[in-house]
Chains A and B, each alone.
Chain A
Amino acid sequence: MVKKNQKGISVIEALVCMVIIGIGFVAMMQLSAYSIGAMDRSIEKNKMNFLSEMVLEDMIGDPYNASSYANISMGCTYSSSQATSLPTRKINKWKKVFSEDDFIKFNSGSGFKDKKPECASGDQKKTFVLSSSGRTQAKINMSTGKGKRKKFLGVILK
């Protein structure tokens, strides 16, 4: 016969305790993972800022051909095309930079490059030029992370 005032903890109590500790542990791990991911995303956002500045800097440098820079979409891959003028050369350069065609290449069979910003479906990099009342404005819209992270930057060109 089991005594009623037996000391110690029951199996149920021990299991409940373990589950609570486990949940806490998993939560801590997720917090770490989130904070590391947030750092990575901030690097990506930082890069988006600089890339959008690059586009607008080029447009500021050629304000009288602003319409040539309108509605340019930068995709995930780059194929060189014939460039014969300042706008076409600059647009070619943007496409090359956005697709990271050059810069750093892994030699074949040595792995892959984690592109930042990632180029996924739903992402967008597109320029807009608006002219009204003698003013010309340029804008670039960028979204990464399948459209979740957005960046808009605009300037008055002239």
Chain B
Amino acid sequence: MKKNTKGFTLAEVLVAVVIGVISVAAAFSAYNYYTKSYEAVSQKANVNSAARDALILITKDLRNAGFIGTSFLNANCENLDSRTARLNLASVSSKRPGLSGRYGQSDFLAVWYAVSPQDRKRVFYWLVKKQNSNEYFLARDVVINPNGHSRAGCPGWNNNYNHPVNTELLVSHVEDFQVIFKDKDGKVLVPACSTSCGPEEVKQGWQQIVATSYGNMNKGQANQQNIHSADIYLTVRSPKEVYNSNRSFRIVNGEAGYGSNISVSADKYYRETFFASVHTRNLSIPQVPTTNTAGSIGEGQGYNK
């Protein structure tokens, strides 16, 4: 037998194969693990980003809610007077069938505010069902001068200008959307509703006529001027499955009696509730202590000094 035979022995080949298989298995396993982790974190990041962007928009609209500029009543194209301009400021309707999402417990939010001496903006937020799907998305709809242009000298209705945002998708896979208005004492304020009022507002007698300093209004409309702050809850689900095993959830948003309490059947999706607290700048104003005499009334009532 030749001593200098070229090639590997069987033992060398077997050892090489074993080492190779172990290396490939480790690489595959690690790749699989990191891909799954990346996918899960990406889902969380996407959910976070979409929900936070939406909350920033809602927060901005709620801060502006009820703004009526000094020259607005003399120039607005809708021909609103001091009473009719205050009939619609910021409104929440709870659990109204068809507007309350997959679990029937979500809210419908509407805000109005002047954007120029002539124009007033109306913004709606609510959950809309996707076509051919059980999923709901948070929609935003913007109309400028929703009552039309009745003042002489104003241009005619132009859909491009007057309805710039038509049921725009803000966030996908939304499971719950709650807006809880609070008064100056931090108590839940219901009804504060002027449009599409739901069963809760009906129970609280939103249509009851009350006298205000601007004339008679219904209770839901009059209460809008008492909104001091709003708590917003938005529960979003990841588009894809994240967990390895099924988990059953309960979504609890808002205040007891005025929020949601939803049992979700077990699944592998990631869910998170996003929360924002908004202080309405133009509705209920802070209580200025009687001892504070340093500033003028205008200064005392300002917020953004």
Contacts and interface: CB of A to CB of B under 8 A. Distances in A.
Contacts of A90: 186
Interface in A56-94: 57-58, 60-64, 83, 85-86, 88-90, 93
B276 interface: yes
A1 B2 CA distance: 11
Given A36-B34, A57-B278, A93-B231, A107 B41 contact: no
Contacts of A40: 41, 44
B151 interface: no
Nearest to B266: A110
Interface string A1-26: 10100110000000000100000010
B229 A106 contact: no
A126 to B, nearest CB: 18
Contacts of A64: 286-289, 292
A134 B294 contact: yes
Contacts of A39: 41-42, 45
Contact of B277 (A93, A103, A106): A93
Nearest to B37: A36
B122 to A, nearest CB: 24
A29 B30 contact: yes
A46 B272 CA distance: 14
A104 B235 contact: yes
Interface in B1-46: 3-4, 6, 19, 27, 30, 34, 37-38, 41-42, 44-45
Interface stretch (B65-73, B155-163, B201-209, B243-251): B243-251
Nearest to A26: B30
Contacts of B185: 85-86, 89
B52 A46 contact: yes
A50 B59 CA distance: 12
Nearest to B228: A61
B248 A102 contact: no
A103 B253 contact: yes
A149 interface: no
28 contacts: A1-B3, A7-B6, A29-B34, A36-B37, A36-B38, A36-B41, A39-B45, A43-B41, A43-B48, A50-B52, A53-B276, A54-B275, A54-B277, A57-B229, A57-B279, A58-B277, A61-B229, A63-B286, A64-B288, A64-B289, A88-B186, A103-B251, A103-B272, A104-B271, A105-B250, A106-B247, A111-B245, A158-B305
Across the A-B interface, the 8 shortest Cβ-Cβ residue pairs? A61-B279, A89-B186, A103-B273, A102-B252, A86-B186, A54-B277, A107-B248, A32-B34
